[in-house]
Amino acid sequence: MPGAASVIQALLSGLIGVSAPTPGLAPPGEDAISYLILLTFFSFTLVAARTSTGSLYASIATHLTFLTVNRLTLLGGDRDSGWSAELTAPDAILLIPGYLLLAAIIYRWSGSRRESRRAAAPASSAA
């Protein structure tokens, strides 16, 4: 989707006479492979939120939380958010897929517990 969005941005910018970044798979300044890996982890997390809770609102809340945390901590200085963290080691960026994976695991774990309780409830009430 980011690649398609960049192509559409370039086309629309050309129509209105505004300069646009070169279309690509990732936003300008981002490593394409790292960005696609991040999107994959993020997608799995959103799917886990939706399937485990049965609610679209869980995915929306997860998406908004992810964006808020990352934009405040990683790019807070650029956005005048009032607070920003500075990465002391480039490898610290790997924490982002790590906490997305942790969130997906928690969603799946809580969803499986909910399902096992639902399955056990009719059996115990019938006895």
Q: Does one domain contain both 68 and 11?
A: no
Which range, 18-22, 64-68, 75-79, 110-114, has the best average confidence (pLDDT)? 64-68
Considering the domain architecture, whether residues 79 and 58 belong to the same structural domain is answered as yes
For range 104-109, the mean pLDDT: 91
Region for residue 27 given its phi and psi (left: phi exceeds 0; alpha: psi -120 to 50; beta: otherwise): beta
9: containing domain = 1-30
Continuous H helices in the chain: 2-16, 32-53, 56-73, 95-126
For residues 21 and 60, membership in a common domain is answered with no
Q: What pLDDT, on the 0 to 100 scale, is given for residue 56?
A: 94
Q: Please tell me whether residues 25 and 43 are part of one structural domain.
A: no
Q: Average model confidence (pLDDT) for the chain?
A: 81
Q: What is the pTM of this model?
A: 0.70
84 and 114 inside one domain: yes
For residue 7, name the pLDDT band (cuts at 50, 70, 90): confident
| Residue 66 sits in the same domain as residue 5 | no
What's the domain count of the chain? 2
Looking at the fold, whether 3 and 59 belong to one and the same domain comes out as no
